């Protein structure tokens, strides 16, 4: 520093050191240095980089050091080695994590879709809830009762037809597939219902009728006038106007399946009512029309379709007479579907190709994440179960997710353990490997199980429905044990019943019983109901049973929650254990899962004691988790003396790692093998 005086003021001046200065003793002169550095006054921090590096080599790293200094220190072994170790450690951990992820994905069984997990609940819209007081249920009424499905822990709702229709067959005779019948509301009501269902996490499955339309449909009116594009949209043939029977084919509702049309001067085919002409699905234009209709509703956001009466979609082009069941019966007496073998009117070659086209459309819309579109087919094939199994498709070409399994509808024909096992095994032993089963015990065409089998068996049948492997389907009201109503001839609404009152399907279609108030809560505005109420509605209703822990409803809710929360029911093995005159018993177990379940159901007519002492995989003592007789909950039985009353079902939970299926492979089934690693709670293929 130098001190400088200027005009009486004193100021400090920084002394600048010239790094190039050399003393005379070093062989240089001040003049030399001054001449070489003339005009070079610079800040002390502006030094040459090489000099800086030399100057700082003796210092420790510090904050704010220049890049060159940082690089100099970072190359030293004590900094370089830890850095390289950490780098390779991160690389190895990343590779290990990727390998573990790939292994888990490769070993994990396929994820279950929503239709695997939840039961399907069928709503018959005319009978579910009336919102406007006209005595007929509607879409707004369904929307009002969506919380009922959530209370049941049900996430999939199948709604029977609500298309615009003359209602000759209560919606299965469709006049316009792109509109809602005013009886049920309008398209806005549907869209609001669908949006609210999705908001609540519910899936909507629509009924779709590809086989026929109403005779009021625009296509039929154009076809009967021989419009060039529509003339072959239906099945027409020449016939005698005086006796319109081109062959002996018979309608499902009885009598000839041919009707003469005066406008066209030909007969048209109808396998159902004469007001329901069959579409000609051998015409590619008709198939494309159906695909366009499917796309229309998928665009709106529906989650799936139940394809109605699919086995009737194609008929033999040659139109030959079908063989009679009784060859000696006079042809003029052949008037019912049971009088003929339906070799030419059902399950024709080409049927499954059409259904696979429908499936392909569904798959296109299923590409949206979390929006799988479900397809189930309806086909009553009776003893020809192999025909039903064809609707599953092949390992290479998918068709329906499953065809409806109607065999349990025959359970009331013989309430016994043997019969129950036979009906279950009819499906399980014929189902293609790796496919998913399903079970139906009631619908809008069959008597309610509480009436056909008997009230005492309702709880046991619900228990079986919800503990068998696969997807259960529940018809509205079965969760509370509703029964058929009795109707008189004057009260008949069903077209089939108008031909023969004993064939009426009205008894199983009575209004839903919500509470003990006026009209059972079905219609709270007026005193109108389209069918009479069942007299039991004051005690058999949703509101009363919600408060009763031992009610049919409460047991249904418990069983459904158990089914969805316990892996052995969704992922595990199903094994027959015993069946006799009274009892049907089976196991649900999963490899690696400590807990397993023994189901014992008494379908007989008397008290039974079941001896399972020969089943070494069972522990000596068994505790009842749930009984359809609430008094027996938590009761302990020795496995040699499991006691059940007639109509009683038991769910017994026990703990063991010893599995039944390895030593009884012929008695056990599983759709997709899986094991459970209990220590980390992971499922894997095994």
Instruction: Give the helix/strand (H/E) hosting 565.
Output: helix 552-565
Average pLDDT over residues 398-405: 96
Residue 681's pLDDT is 85
Tokens of 240: 């005698």
Q: Under a CB-based contact definition with an 8 Å cutoff, are residues 96 and 104 in contact?
A: no
Tokens of 291: 């695909």
Q: Is the pLDDT of residue 621 over 70?
A: yes
Domain 116-210+284-319+343-413+439-560, CATH: 3.20.20.80
Average pLDDT over residues 298-320: 97
Q: Where are the alpha helices (DSSP H) in 634-683?
A: none
Quickly state the pLDDT bin for 59 (edges 50, 70, 90): low
Q: Is the pLDDT of residue 21 over 90?
A: no
Q: Give tens-digit pLDDT for 66-81.
A: 877 777 777 778 778 8
- Cα angle value 455/382/271 (rounded, 5°): 105
Average pLDDT over residues 92-109: 88
In the chain, % helix, strand, coil (3-state, to 5) comes to 35, 20, 45
Strands (E), 471-526: 471-475
Q: By C-alpha distance, which of 268, 287, 286 is closest to 278?
A: 268
The C-alpha atoms of residue 193 and residue 153 are separated, in whole angstroms, by 19
Q: Is the pLDDT of residue 17 over 80?
A: no
DSSP string, 528-540: --SSPPPGGGGTS
Q: Under a CB-based contact definition with an 8 Å cutoff, are residues 435 and 398 in contact?
A: no
Q: Is the pLDDT of residue 200 over 50?
A: yes
Q: Give tens-digit pLDDT for 140-184.
A: 999 999 999 999 999 999 999 999 999 999 999 999 999 999 999
Q: Give tens-digit pLDDT for 410-467.
A: 999 999 999 999 999 999 999 999 999 999 999 999 999 999 999 999 999 999 999 9
The C-alpha atoms of residue 479 and residue 640 are separated, in whole angstroms, by 33
Average pLDDT over residues 303-319: 97
Q: By C-alpha distance, which of 588, 567, 512 is closest to 543?
A: 512
* Cα-based torsion angle of the residue sequence 332, 337, 341, 343 in order, rounded to the nearest 10 degrees: 110
Q: Which residues pair with 164 in a beta bridge?
A: 176
Residue 83's pLDDT is 85
Residue 497's pLDDT is 83
Q: Note the Cα 115 to chain centre separation in Å.
A: 1
Domain 568-684, CATH: 2.60.40.1180
Tokens of 9: 């003021």
Residue 674's pLDDT is 92
Average pLDDT over residues 182-203: 98
The C-alpha atoms of residue 284 and residue 276 are separated, in whole angstroms, by 20
Q: Give tens-digit pLDDT for 102-132.
A: 887 888 888 899 999 999 999 999 999 999 9
Q: For 221-230, which contacts have Cβ atoms below 8 Å and span 24 or more sequence positions?
A: 223/264, 224/261, 224/263, 224/264, 224/268, 225/263, 225/264, 226/264, 229/285
Quickly state the pLDDT bin for 62 (edges 50, 70, 90): confident
Residue 433's pLDDT is 93
Q: Which CATH architecture has domain 212-280+320-342?
A: Alpha-Beta Complex (3.90)
The C-alpha atoms of residue 40 and residue 74 are separated, in whole angstroms, by 34
What percentage of residues in the chain have a pLDDT greater than 70? Answer: 91
Residue where the block lists tokens 């006038």: 225
Residue 45's pLDDT is 42
Task: Kindly give the interhelix angle for 187-199 and 284-300, rounded to the nearest 10 degrees.
Answer: 60
Active-site amino acid positions: 308, 378
Tokens of 104: 């888990």
Q: Is the pLDDT of residue 611 over 80?
A: yes
Average pLDDT over residues 573-601: 97
């Amino acid at each position: 520093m130098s001190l400088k005086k200027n005009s009486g003021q004193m100021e400090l001046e920084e002394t600048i050191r010239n790094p190039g200065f050399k003393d005379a003793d070093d062989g240089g002169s001040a003049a030399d240095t001054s001449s070489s550095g003339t005009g070079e006054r610079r800040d002390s921090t502006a030094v040459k980089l090489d000099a800086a590096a030399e100057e700082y080599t003796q210092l420790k790293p510090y904050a704010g050091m220049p890049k060159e200094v940082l690089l100099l220190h970072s190359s030293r072994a004590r900094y370089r080695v830890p850095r390289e170790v950490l780098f390779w450690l991160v690389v190895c951990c990343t590779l290990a994590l990727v390998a573990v992820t790939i292994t888990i994905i490769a070993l994990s069984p396929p994820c279950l879709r929503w239709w695997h997990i939840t039961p399907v609940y069928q709503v018959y819209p005319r009978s579910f809830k009336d919102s406007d007081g006209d005595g007929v249920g509607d879409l707004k009424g369904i929307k009002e009762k969506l919380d009922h499905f959530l209370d049941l822990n049900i996430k999939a709702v199948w709604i029977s037809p609500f298309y615009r229709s003359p209602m000759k067959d209560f919606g299965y005779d469709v006049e316009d597939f792109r509109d809602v019948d005013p009886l049920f509301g309008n398209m806005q009501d549907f869209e609001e219902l669908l949006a609210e269902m999705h908001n609540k996490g519910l899936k909507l499955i629509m009924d779709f009728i590809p086989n026929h339309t109403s005779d009021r449909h625009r296509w039929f009116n154009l076809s009967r006038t021989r419009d060039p594009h529509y003339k072959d949209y239906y099945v027409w043939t020449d016939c005698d106007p005086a006796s319109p029977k081109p062959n002996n084919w018979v309608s499902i509702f009885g009598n000839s399946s041919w009707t003469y049309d005066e406008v066209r001067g030909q007969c048209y085919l109808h396998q159902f009512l004469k007001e329901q002409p069959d579409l000609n699905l051998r015409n590619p234009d008709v198939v494309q029309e159906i695909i366009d209709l499917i796309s229309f509703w998928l665009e709106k956001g529906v989650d799936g379709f139940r394809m109605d009466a699919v086995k009737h979609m194609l008929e033999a082009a040659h139109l030959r007479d079908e063989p009679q069941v009784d060859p000696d019966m006079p042809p003029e007496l052949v008037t019912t579907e049971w009088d003929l073998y339906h070799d030419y009117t059902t399950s024709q070659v080409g049927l499954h190709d059409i259904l696979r086209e429908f499936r392909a459309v569904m798959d296109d819309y299923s590409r949206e994440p979390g929006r799988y579109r479900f397809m189930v087919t309806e086909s009553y094939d009776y003893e020809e179960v192999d025909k039903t199994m064809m609707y599953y498709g092949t390992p290479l070409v998918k068709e329906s997710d499953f065809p409806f399994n109607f065999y349990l509808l025959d359970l009331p024909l013989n309430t016994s353990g043997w019969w129950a096992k036979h009906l279950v095994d009819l499906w399980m032993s014929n189902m293609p490997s790796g496919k998913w089963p399903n079970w139906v015990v009631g619908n809008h065409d069959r008597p309610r199980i509480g009436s056909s089998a008997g009230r005492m068996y309702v709880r046991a049948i619900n228990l079986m429905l919800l503990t068998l492997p696969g997807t259960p389907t529940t018809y509205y009201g079965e969760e509370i044990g509703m029964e058929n109503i009795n109707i008189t001839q004057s009260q008949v609404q069903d077209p089939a019943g108008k031909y023969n009152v004993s064939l009426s399907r009205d008894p199983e279609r009575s209004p839903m019983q919500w509470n003990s108030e006026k009209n059972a809560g079905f219609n709270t505005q007026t005193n109108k109901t389209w069918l009479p109420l069942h007299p039991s509605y004051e005690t058999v209703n949703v509101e009363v049973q919600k408060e009763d822990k031992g009610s049919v409803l409460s047991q249904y809710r418990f069983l459904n929650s158990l089914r969805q929360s316990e892996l052995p029911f969704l992922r595990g093995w199903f094994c027959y254990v015993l069946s006799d005159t009274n009892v049907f018993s089976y196991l649900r177990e999963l490899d690696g899962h400590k807990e397993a379940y023994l189901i014992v159901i008494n379908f007989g007519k008397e008290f039974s004691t079941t001896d399972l002492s020969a089943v070494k995989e069972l522990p000596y003592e068994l505790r009842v988790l749930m009984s359809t007789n609430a008094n027996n909950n938590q009761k302990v039985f020795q496995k040699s003396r499991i006691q059940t009353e007639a109509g009683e079902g038991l769910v017994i939970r026990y703990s063991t790692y010893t599995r039944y299926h390895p030593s009884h492979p012929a008695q056990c089934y599983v759709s997709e093998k899986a094991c459970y690693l209990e220590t980390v709670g992971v499922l894997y293929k095994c």
